[in-house]
Amino acid sequence: MAAHDGRNPHFGREFIHGVAAYDRIVAVTQTTTVVERYDGSTRLRRRGNSLIFDDGRCSDVDALVVVENVAKVFNPNPRKFSEVSKP
């Protein structure tokens, strides 16, 4: 079992389900910038993720293409809401 660092381990799922209540939101993205140290040097690394609400809230095919392209900037394989909304 991993050490608990004080953060809510269910934050992502709770956030996604909270946002899902707003039918005008069709995707969410997240970025984090961290400092990495290796062999005496440091660098900044950006990590990102994204999720697309594929529950029919957007029927505009052209808009969905744009949404997917933006989501892929943060994650080349964005997750779908239908994948994470299962209990």
pLDDT in tens, 26-38: 999 988 898 999 8
Please count the residues of the chain: 87
More confident residue, 2 or 78: 78
pTM of the model: 0.75
Contact between residue 25 and residue 50 where contact means Cβ atoms under 8 Å apart: no
Average of pLDDT values for 31-52?
A: 91
Task: Give the start-to-end residue ranges of the domains of the chain.
Answer: 24-84
Grade residue 24 by pLDDT with cuts at 50, 70 and 90: very high
Residue 52: CA atoms inside 13 Å, Cβ hemisphere, count? 21
